[in-house]
Amino acid sequence: MSDITHTAFFGTAEQTFTLTDPMIAELERTADVGIGALYQRAIAMQFKAADLTEIIRLGLVGGGMNPQAAMRLTDTYATNRPMAETYPLVLDILDARWNGNTEESEAA
């Protein structure tokens, strides 16, 4: 079975990112578009700048971080940064939810 969690260095340490169902619902609300359209928009590089930070923030919350800490990390390390730094992370977070994270099964 595939995992929907992505782990990556963000801020000052390895972080866990998971777009759980409640986080997807919140993302759909804040982006005013469904997750399928948002995913397609992201991979086609047709995203809004706010999409990037919201996906990271909500991924952190879904991964177990409290919302205040997730906002603080996102404000510090994703806002006003080159999109080339945040975009690959966003794609990895979305891809883990869309396709499942198979890194662990490949390593075995």
Q: Is the dihedral of CA 75, 79, 85, 19 positive or negative?
A: positive
**43 token code pair:** 């991979």
pLDDT, one tens digit per residue, over 15-56 is 999 999 999 999 999 999 999 999 999 999 999 999 999 999
The pTM (predicted TM-score) of the whole model is: 0.91
Give the SS3 label for residue 57: helix
Strand 13-18 to strand 5-10: parallel, antiparallel, or no bridges (unpaired)?
antiparallel
The percentage of residues in the chain with a pLDDT greater than 90, rounded to a whole number, is 91
Contacts of 88 (CB under 8 A, 6+ apart): none
Q: Estimate the crossing angle of helix 67-77 against helix 49-62, to 10 degrees.
A: 140
